[in-house]
Structure 1
Amino acid sequence: MMLRGLALAGLLFGAEIGAAQAGGWHAVAFMYHRFGEDDYPSTSISLDTFEAHLDHLEEEYTIWPMERIVEHLENGEPVPDRTVAITIDDAYRSVYENAFPILKERDLPYTVFVATEPVDDGLSGYMTWDQMREMEEHGATFANHSTTHDYLVRQGEEESDEAYAERIRDDISNAQDRIEEELGEHNDIPMLFAYPYGEYNQTVADVAEDLGYIGIGQHSGAIGPYSHPMALPRFPMADSFSDLDDFKQKAGAKSLPVESIDPWDPVAAEDNNPPRMEVTLADSDARLNQLACFVGGQGSVEVEWTDRDARIFEVEAPETLNRGRTRYNCTAPSEEQGRFYWFSQQWIILPD
């Protein structure tokens, strides 16, 4: 479904699918990077914690490959409640050495997003294509994470719009070509693109969409029929934020049914910092009188209802956002005890 005009103008998206689902379904994707690498606490998870996560998921949830959830989203088909996906970014060597034996023993499906240049260059911290082929035989799917793993949202000062878009197109397409060459002989490579660093802007999303991809981010939240296909959320996991109780709460998250958001482009303009976000919600059993929003590094922020009957609210951080990535996170309790609706909008403040 090509939704560029809807997305980037801040108009309705997912409404047709959402209405058909009468309240919608909910799925959660978790994102991991490294396993058992203590020197990287912000991106690595201990093996004991990873096993605890998997124990909980196997006991309480249905585990699908990410591409299966996406297929249902694209086709307007419901996903069973309490469905989750396991995803891994960057193809680090510890995925093969530490995570793969665990996932293989449990016979679980999972998706690895590969940045191909470090693999082709034979960097010691990354898997090899032979290792990935072995993993393919035991439940792994591999998908696109760009060629260079560059900050694609950064356009060069002397770079024209056309040249910028072409550079992004090449970075994505060349990676897909390499993955298909190395891993596509016996398996279809899904048209999923995980943005490097989870960062995207209008141009990056446009290019990826024009090439036929679904866009995968790193902003928190659940996936549902109203989720935008160029900005699907995932919950990042690492030792710094891997508490089991928090993990259980996130696994049970529901997707706040966002019909529209304005602005959609996460890169905040200089004259819109802090960005003011307007959100329109579809009907659901979310207790909107308890809707709470938070700004990364600034804490809770006032929710301003501009039209409560139409479920339209606005949020703005009280202070200017720092350079880099920040999120507005909004949650509301569900009528189902212990479960929360969740929506996250990423903001990117580029360096001067």
Structure 2
Amino acid sequence: MKSFAIFLLLSLASGLFAQRNEVVSLVYHRFGDDRYPSTNISLSTFEKHLKYLKEEGFESVTFSQGIKMITSDAVKGKTVAITIDDGYLSFFENGLPLLKRYGFTATLFVNTSTIGGNDFMDWEQIKKAQIEGIEIGNHSNTHPYFLDVSERTSESFFRQEIESSQAQMTQALGQAPIVFAYPYGEVNEEMKPILKEMGFIGAAAQNSGVIHAGSDLFQCPRFPMSESFGTLTQFKEKVEMRGLEVIKAEAISTGYNGSIDKPRINLEFKEEGLFVESMQCFVQGSECLKSVQIYRDGLVKMAIRPKTALSSRRTLFTITIPDNDGNWHWYSYLWVIPNTGND
């Protein structure tokens, strides 16, 4: 009887994870432009990505389609939302033809002030991409570091940036975008209600992870793809990842428990179906220190912090945990130190 009960519990957990309403989102920038290796993906590697997605039966959707599918619980199988930030010319010349060849769609997030500039797509090319089935999203007007703006003027500046780019895209493309991508992935809570008020249905950040039913749809995670992070082995691992539904996340950066360069990230999530003891923890540029408590009701409370002081403007805190079926679940938190240089 005991073995049957264990089998039943494992089966229920397996069913829980199998039915999760999730979309994997990827973010690319440049295609076949090796002058900028940190944001470039080679065409041979990009084609390997698309071939793998095709062979594994992934459904390709735009970012807004993915948001709508999540909110209506309509995801039926493996689903991927490919996104491209900034509107570089190399996407139009090199990336778009490969997407067409494999029958995939994508969302192109453009910052309007650079349209037609050196190495950037112009309006006619953006229109052609739109005709080919590429969704156009808003990426601000001037692609600023919003978190560097003084608190007194930040809300009005953010609103002005989005209103300007929305007006330009509406005039040029005949419709206003309904999805947004934060420049550099930097976001605070004050930005989200402004986007909602302006008619956006979701927004993309740059912390890695999987979009799921419990995600904040105005801070959707995306896995970055470049030559450094996009080898086929890495790609397979990431697109097969599952989301980790974190109930609560907070950063402590003042007082005894943390500082701006050594913050403590507190997380809460449910243990159900997860092997918490096999959790992995990573902090960019440092070693990860963690403490974990598991309560009787299955609630997991953990704290993660860097062992050494952080020196980069942006740092990802990442945890991965396996479940009973051998799937890995991923969550990351982006910590930003404003006004400390632009990396």
What TM-score results when the alignment is normalised by the length of structure 1?
Answer: 0.84
When the two chains are superposed, the root-mean-square deviation of aligned CA atoms in Å is 2.1
Q: Structure 2: 5+ residue runs without aligned partners? A: 1-14
Q: Tell me by how many angstroms 1:206 deviates.
A: 4.1
The one of 149, 162, 178 equivalent to 1:191 is 178
Q: Decide whether the 8 Å contact of 2:38 with 2:226 is kept in 1.
A: yes
The one of 83, 88, 91 equivalent to 2:79 is 83
Q: Deviations over 1:144-163 (max 9, x none)?
A: 0000001011124xxx62x3
Match of 2:6? Answer: none
Q: Distance in 2 between matches of 1:284 and 1:234?
A: 25
Matched, 1:282 2:282: no
The one of 330, 336, 343 equivalent to 2:331 is 343
Query: Secondary structure of 2:203's partner?
Result: strand
Q: Deviations over 1:70-128 (max 9, x none)?
A: 112334x1412321111000000001111111112222110000000011xx3121001
**Counterpart amino acid of residue 49 in structure 1:** T
Q: Distance in 1 between matches of 2:132 and 2:29?
A: 19
Q: Distance in 2 between matches of 1:212 and 1:288?
A: 39
User: More deviation in 318-327 or 94-103?
Assistant: 318-327
Structure 1 runs (4+) deviating above 4 angstroms are none
Q: Structure 1: 5+ residue runs without aligned partners? A: 1-20
**Counterpart amino acid of residue 245 in structure 1:** T
Q: Decide whether the 8 Å contact of 2:292 with 2:300 is kept in 1.
A: no
Q: Decide whether the 8 Å contact of 1:115 with 1:175 is kept in 2.
A: yes
Matched, 1:301 2:289: yes
Distance 1:208 1:153, change over 3 A: farther
Matched, 1:53 2:49: yes
Alignment of 1:194-209 (within 5 A): 194-209=181-196
Q: Distance in 2 between matches of 1:237 and 1:48?
A: 13
Q: Tell me by how many angstroms 1:212 deviates.
A: 3.7
Q: Decide whether the 8 Å contact of 1:143 with 1:179 is kept in 2.
A: no
Q: Distance in 2 between matches of 1:230 and 1:351?
A: 24
Q: Tell me by how many angstroms 1:141 deviates.
A: 0.6
Count of residues in Structure 1 that have an aligned counterpart in Structure 2: 318
**Counterpart amino acid of residue 227 in structure 2:** D
The one of 59, 78, 83 equivalent to 1:62 is 59
Match of 1:141? Answer: 135
The one of 84, 101, 108 equivalent to 1:105 is 101
What TM-score results when the alignment is normalised by the length of structure 2?
Answer: 0.87
Q: Deviations over 1:147-188 (max 9, x none)?
A: 0001011124xxx62x3211110101211121122123xxx5
**Counterpart amino acid of residue 117 in structure 1:** S
Match of 2:8? Answer: none
Match of 2:242? Answer: 254
Q: Distance in 1 between matches of 2:294 and 2:66?
A: 34
Q: Distance in 1 between matches of 2:138 and 2:300?
A: 36
Considering Cα pairs closer than 8 Å and 6+ residues apart, tell me whether 1 or 2 has the greater RCO: 1
Q: Decide whether the 8 Å contact of 2:89 with 2:121 is kept in 1.
A: yes
Q: Distance in 1 between matches of 2:61 and 2:76?
A: 10
Match of 1:127? Answer: 121
Structure 1 vs Structure 2: percent identity of aligned residues?
A: 32
Q: Tell me by how many angstroms 1:22 deviates.
A: 5.7
**Counterpart amino acid of residue 63 in structure 2:** M
**Counterpart amino acid of residue 323 in structure 2:** S
Match of 1:41? Answer: 37
Q: Deviations over 1:283-335 (max 9, x none)?
A: 54222221221111113432322647322222122222224000110000122
Match of 1:171? Answer: 161
Query: Secondary structure of 1:205's partner?
Result: helix
Q: Distance in 1 between matches of 2:32 and 2:46?
A: 9
The one of 224, 237, 240 equivalent to 2:228 is 240
**Counterpart amino acid of residue 130 in structure 2:** E
Q: Which has the larger radius of gyration?
A: 2
Matched, 1:71 2:68: yes
Q: Distance in 2 between matches of 1:212 and 1:324?
A: 31
Q: Decide whether the 8 Å contact of 1:257 with 1:284 is kept in 2.
A: no
Q: Decide whether the 8 Å contact of 2:166 with 2:177 is kept in 1.
A: no
User: More deviation in 139-148 or 316-325?
Assistant: 316-325
Q: Distance in 2 between matches of 1:169 and 1:290?
A: 44
Match of 1:150? Answer: 144
**Counterpart amino acid of residue 247 in structure 2:** E
**Counterpart amino acid of residue 132 in structure 2:** H
The one of 316, 319, 322 equivalent to 2:308 is 319
Q: Decide whether the 8 Å contact of 1:141 with 1:189 is kept in 2.
A: no
Matched, 1:180 2:170: yes
**Counterpart amino acid of residue 165 in structure 1:** E
